[in-house]
Structure 1
């Protein structure tokens, strides 16, 4: 079986691998999801008993659900925002003692006992989305058809909040897609009240997604907040189970974005709110009796604010943990602060706070090498006692962590092995590993990773396995290049598909330009209001620098391919620099930034009507509409787009195609019927041969 088919059947070797790892609050168990094997897409719920070092099955969807697993619309939308294509159990939540687990199948609610393995369906009044137990373990909250429900200890189902045309307890599109806040309600510590988000999308424009391959089906209508347009109105309310209601007060006109909410055992609710252009934000504590808020920290940056996941949060001594940037005294770092005091060394680029371990913080961070991420144990010291962050992981690669009480799980990804290896520790002692049933890729790529130019841009070069030095190779630049995402990682899975391209006869080049994370805040934010210029300049300069070091790269034959922002960058490259790039594959590209969502686009480009030409300057449609200067400037483009993509709607590619046609530029288009932005289910892998054929036909002969 060749790579594209094998990758499609195994979902790029992810099926059968553990995911959604959680450590119970008492540290006694590690919960995770995993399917039965390398071609099984249905995830089951498993538990690893820390004391015994053994894992066992808790819940099998095949035994619990007869018939089709029809998901509620809100659940489908949530999975799309999470980029989750697996079937079976998509997610779960734990009771505070870790003994109970809640999950849904086909909109039905189930509760499992981790200790006994007993699973029972919990009757509900409607299709269930996002079930969550209260901290006492007696009640269950959930959302159904936009209404917030509570099931009491006697099994009675009450509607806590419902309103026509409004949703309660769900994250709106912007919160989930751009701020990664995937939930919309939070229980109080005593289980007697709920902090709930009310979302009114009545002002948001309605867009209609229709798959022309199914003309008998009505279009799907979505509320899509495009750049410069109105957002959903999001408010917070404290709802008592006995009917009481308190509004949470903050200046919503000035700070309309509700970015994060937490309500922990250590203190009351904490929220983070941002201005529309995200250059200023506030961390606020909420008085649960009155709804009044108090400022604990301000976040400010002339470009944009980038909160650290896992913050804000209360520390055990009552201080508020906040993530932010240190940009003075020569420092250029992402750090953690407790009530303004520095907790992490300014050499670290903090990426996430992932848990607590024996009283300390467990932090994922990078120190100097952006292709790697390591785990640090950060001492939660009182003010004035210094900073202490001890690195736990030693092997080169990318590490993730989950922690509670005295149990720590570390997931290791590396160039040295396939997949993610999850090791479980109690204290400093290893107690076992989570078993992976995933297939291994057919080869072990060995990319050459190095940093080039005066900007020290991270790059990787991959050759065919049978390459003979001195033989010139056409170049395939395989990129993303957008904010919030890196491609040049010391992780085997990032290079397996690229090895297939290399073995097809290419030198594969990957470049992380400025705007991608992991180097420094100033590196991240160099793209502010100038997407097209910075990213393309870095790509061109890095490619030239690599050709000086790798003399087998033939720069007279360069192809470029990418998806989403990478699709935008690929098309931009051949339109703006046809002297460098000779053909492009652009999958699901954002071609007109005025058609993309508010929070993402305005964060980087500002408002469309601010009087500048920023949007036009960065628009592919504008560039494509200009006739090529000469025949050598009309480089061929293959466009690919899912017809029911609700993130980057198909209008982007259709408008670009129309502009290319008008200006006489060669291009082809593959519409993916029924496909969303993920192009899941093996679809993207089965496109590979079509892309390869296009690139081979489009590149000049040697």
Structure 2
């Protein structure tokens, strides 16, 4: 076993609390550390991390803009100093209004003379929203509503003369000179046909909601159309009134009918719409659409329903004709991400593929012929962050340093000159690079250490200015009695090395026997996303709030552990796709191996090991409590899938195929099938308004437990979605979870 220690108190000592009047350093050291409370974590801003809100790069790479007190302010990159107020809050006050607009977002047009401000933004699902938009002219200081009601995804044309947006399942375009609004489509109908935005399953599983795209010359708008008329509806009850309200939306479960998706292009000048040829097969996916650098040429990615064959189509929008430029296949499934880049000049593009076993960069000509593989190695690209057309350098984030870390690198299109740009050391970097790649905003954290947000030079990574060091949060954390956080690895009985972390009580005594609570997610990652719970970032792979809750449990005498099993990202395709066609089997084995390993440690009470998780982690908890019933004394399963037949088509079939073709993959690892094995104490938690993992899942599992005459406890949150949040909800939930752990482990 290899351990790498992160003792939080030591890491934060240099930023400890300021001396109070009359106290000597010795007296401060002798002060009693504060105990963590659920109120501190969930109800107060005690541990709220600071960031840089509303950050946007400006055309001149020397400047960025950010919202500040309701005003839009320009800052100089090299100093971080505010150099001018672009729009004062007082200029965002409508005639007769008592106060300025409460702005929650903004975008510039191409020459930065007009700005779209968003207000009253209303979230719909994970990525979708609608807002009231206003156009502000910096020259005339005029503030104008974009349209009536609420709109979606309002976007300037590249030449800044028009704005396209969605409303009521249709696409519209407004001429800013006249404010004349033109309907691009008129046939949109709720729960039937969608233009310009995505349906539920595309939004959730392909990660985007806006479904229209301006051409680089501003002459065309490409847009999606979803015919969801044949997709079954899910009926979700909304509680509160005398009679519950029905909320019905289209949700394709595994094996059921999906939307039939088409792509069209609208010519702004003529008003003509041309439908693109995406092939004769209606039962397929179009996960990405973008414009190339060749005039009138649209790039369309076509994915078969089994998701193991991806084709890049190049289409002529004047005729609608398309041709296949590139095909990427995989025995399991093909990754979908945003890494496709068409290079200036219209002759080449960069694409990522894991055809050599790891996600790497490849250069192709426009016919699709591979020019070269740009990156190689037993590590994977997690995101492309920028491209410098002058030098031919690509900037990317990868796992080359460690599967637990993410750092920024640079390499030339020639495949030469690879260099790490991130500072030496551990941790995780989240990069926002300027369009000209001269600078990047870097958010760096490591296990137990809050994020530091800094501006850095793109070519060298040299620090320009620290924008937020979260010193206040570090000082706050230093006042609390936090345990010892450490990473570890171990080998399973199959010889597979797994990563994990462990939080021990601050007063840990190796001569004692401690109960252990394991935290699990366990689900597969897809594209650039990472579902790892073992990462070298501030929460160790979890949110800071969960990280602190785990420390709170450590204060109560528990060891908290997370073990990353097969199916997770960062270690290549073989490790991630080992679970293909049989979700739950290997993941459950690996969590069981983790429990056995922990039970063999001299300071662990193997009769008192518990497990908890949310979403896929809730599914894993339910499986662990039934298939590994002898290993776990208690479990908390939050918002679990309990039968993959109940979950959506895109996600489930990607990893399990269709249920018609792989019934055993669906049934052999469903907790519903093993309810009779339950031995330990189980708490089942779900929001009744969960549009993602439906409440139906918990109902099915409870019904199976009743039939098996098994005892359990339930905790249901009315109208709460998959995140189970809002008001006091999280505080209430974690109080119940804490009590359940204390009473049963």
**Do they superpose with TM above 0.5?**
yes
Question: 1:458/1:152 Cα in 2 relative to 1: closer, same or farther (>3 Å)?
Answer: same
- Does the CA-based 8 Å contact 1:29-1:98 persist in structure 2? no
Which runs of structure 2 are paired with 1:15-414 in the superposition (5 Å)? 16-18=50-52, 21-31=55-65, 47-50=74-77, 53-55=80-82, 92-98=106-112, 100-106=114-120, 107-111=131-135, 120-154=143-177, 155-165=179-189, 166-241=193-268, 242-251=270-279, 253=281, 256-263=284-291, 268-314=297-343, 318-327=347-356, 332-339=357-364, 340=370, 341-357=372-388, 359=391, 360-367=393-400, 369-381=402-414, 386-393=415-422, 394-403=424-433, 404-405=435-436, 406-414=438-446
* Structure 1 residues 536-569: Cα deviation after superposition (integer angstroms, max 9, x where no partner): 1111113333444x43122210111110000000
* Structure 1 residues 45-80: Cα deviation after superposition (integer angstroms, max 9, x where no partner): 6654325522477679999589xxxxxxxxxxxxxx
Question: 1:304/1:45 Cα in 2 relative to 1: closer, same or farther (>3 Å)?
Answer: farther
Give the deviation of 1:257 after TM superposition: 0.9
- Does the CA-based 8 Å contact 1:147-1:168 persist in structure 2? yes
Aligned counterparts of 2:273 and 2:332: Cα–Cα separation in 1:
38
2:123 aligns with none
Give the deviation of 1:510 after TM superposition: 0.3
Aligned counterparts of 1:25 and 1:88: Cα–Cα separation in 2:
26
Q: Are residue 542 (structure 1) and residue 594 (structure 2) matched?
A: yes
Q: Are residue 488 (structure 1) and residue 488 (structure 2) matched?
A: no
Give the deviation of 1:473 after TM superposition: 0.8
Question: 1:234/1:47 Cα in 2 relative to 1: closer, same or farther (>3 Å)?
Answer: farther
Q: Are residue 525 (structure 1) and residue 577 (structure 2) matched?
A: yes
Deviates further, 51-60 or 408-417: 51-60
Give unpaired runs (5+ residues) of structure 1: 37-42, 67-86
- Does the CA-based 8 Å contact 2:135-2:146 persist in structure 1? no
Question: 1:46/1:637 Cα in 2 relative to 1: closer, same or farther (>3 Å)?
Answer: farther
- Does the CA-based 8 Å contact 1:308-1:350 persist in structure 2? no
> Which of 418, 430, 433 in structure 1 is aligned with 2:450?
418
Question: 1:390/1:32 Cα in 2 relative to 1: closer, same or farther (>3 Å)?
Answer: farther
Aligned counterparts of 1:47 and 1:544: Cα–Cα separation in 2:
56
Q: Which has the larger radius of gyration?
A: 2
Q: Are residue 459 (structure 1) and residue 517 (structure 2) matched?
A: no
Deviates further, 233-242 or 155-164: 155-164
Question: 1:310/1:602 Cα in 2 relative to 1: closer, same or farther (>3 Å)?
Answer: same
Question: 1:377/1:120 Cα in 2 relative to 1: closer, same or farther (>3 Å)?
Answer: farther
- Does the CA-based 8 Å contact 1:95-1:133 persist in structure 2? yes
- Does the CA-based 8 Å contact 1:103-1:131 persist in structure 2? no
Which runs of structure 2 are paired with 1:621-640 in the superposition (5 Å)? 621-624=672-675, 627-628=676-677, 633-640=678-685
Aligned counterparts of 2:585 and 2:346: Cα–Cα separation in 1:
47
- Does the CA-based 8 Å contact 2:441-2:453 persist in structure 1? no
- Does the CA-based 8 Å contact 2:484-2:505 persist in structure 1? no
- Does the CA-based 8 Å contact 1:479-1:510 persist in structure 2? yes
Q: What TM-score, normalized to structure 2?
A: 0.82
Q: CA RMSD in A?
A: 2.9
Aligned counterparts of 1:116 and 1:434: Cα–Cα separation in 2:
30
Aligned counterparts of 2:643 and 2:104: Cα–Cα separation in 1:
33
Give the deviation of 1:195 after TM superposition: 0.2
Q: Are residue 7 (structure 1) and residue 41 (structure 2) matched?
A: yes
Aligned counterparts of 2:153 and 2:418: Cα–Cα separation in 1:
35
- Does the CA-based 8 Å contact 1:132-1:141 persist in structure 2? yes
* Structure 1 residues 624-667: Cα deviation after superposition (integer angstroms, max 9, x where no partner): 2xx34xxxx52221111111110011111111111111211111
Partner SS, residue 584 of structure 1: strand
Question: 1:21/1:619 Cα in 2 relative to 1: closer, same or farther (>3 Å)?
Answer: farther
Partner SS, residue 449 of structure 2: coil
Partner SS, residue 228 of structure 1: coil
Question: 1:334/1:688 Cα in 2 relative to 1: closer, same or farther (>3 Å)?
Answer: same
- Does the CA-based 8 Å contact 2:223-2:263 persist in structure 1? yes
Deviates further, 460-469 or 102-111: 102-111
Question: 1:425/1:264 Cα in 2 relative to 1: closer, same or farther (>3 Å)?
Answer: farther
2:737 aligns with 691
Q: What TM-score, normalized to structure 1?
A: 0.87
Aligned counterparts of 2:685 and 2:180: Cα–Cα separation in 1:
50
* Structure 1 residues 656-680: Cα deviation after superposition (integer angstroms, max 9, x where no partner): 1111112111111111112111122
Question: 1:210/1:455 Cα in 2 relative to 1: closer, same or farther (>3 Å)?
Answer: same
